[in-house]
Homo-oligomer: A and B are copies of this chain.
Amino acid sequence: MAAARLLVSCPDRPGIIAAVSRFLFEREVNIVSSDQHSTDPEGGTFFLRMAFTVDHLTVSREALAEEFAREVAQPMGMTWRLRHLDEPPRMAIMVSREDHCLLDLLWRWRRGELDCDVGIVVSNHPDLRADVESFGVRYEHVPVTPDTKPQAEARALELLAGSDVVVLARYMQILTRDFLDRVGAPVINIHHSFLPAFAGADPYRRAHDRGVKMVGATAHYVTEELDAGPIIEQGIERVTHRDDPAALAHVGRDVERVVLARAVRWHLEDRVLVDEGKTVVF
């Protein structure tokens, strides 16, 4: 069963769903699920995700895209993306030394939970090579020091070229604006706190100092401003006065890996749209 997904955002106005659904129906596309969101019915932004089967498509894939652009998207000022599911996205992972998020992603990928090709893992440490290679995935060690950061980022960009999404699975280096401009794919990070609380370094230590009763984790798209990008997913777990910072980290690991895995899966399933520093998650 051939399937595809359409993501749309555009200025809101009446008739968008009617236009899109008629266009698809006329080409014998069968809508399987449809989600929409309007930030404001008067003058806001309209977001749409449709999943459909294209077994009986009466035109070619190329024609479908061209005609949609000409007949629907351009007249309505849409930003849009149409993806056929038999062309899975290519995912790259960056990691430092902590293995829990990385292994969890690789396990899920091997089990078929993440519909993508994992092309490469890039790390600033050599530690996790054997684990990664046991999944049949290429591992490249790109050391980073204050002096070599530009060359390291250049090397990473070469290795990541062609990726559709880059996941920072506890990658403990700050990426430069230049890197983000040139990587050419969305970058998803997991931060080990409930943002905006404890943005920046050493969140479990600071959570302990503040005496919070829960620790959290936040998966977000990376932007130039540290830990301030659009939030995709958050999670939380209870802790008590008995937990020292190491215990908070222990509890937090279970939250981090689940939150990151969910964010990555939703991204791969084309469920996430960005709306002015926030996300719409269908």
Which residues of A approach B to under 8 Å, CB–CB? 14-15, 17-18, 21-22, 24-25, 28-38, 41, 53, 99-100, 103, 107, 111, 113, 134, 194-198, 210-214, 216, 230-234, 236, 240-242, 250, 254, 258, 275, 277-281
Contact = CB atoms under 8 A, between A and B. Distances in A.
Contacts of A230: 211
Contacts of A53: 41
Given A18-B18, A99-B111, A214-B236, 4 more contacts: A18-B22, A33-B36, A33-B242, A211-B231
Contacts of A194: 194, 197, 214, 216
A278 B197 contact: no
A258 B254 contact: yes
A277 B17 CA distance: 31
A278 to B, nearest CB: 3
A279 B196 contact: no
A18 B22 CA distance: 5
A254 B255 CA distance: 11
A70 to B, nearest CB: 19
Contacts of A36: 31, 33-34
Given A21-B21, A30-B14, A38-B32, A196 B210 contact: yes
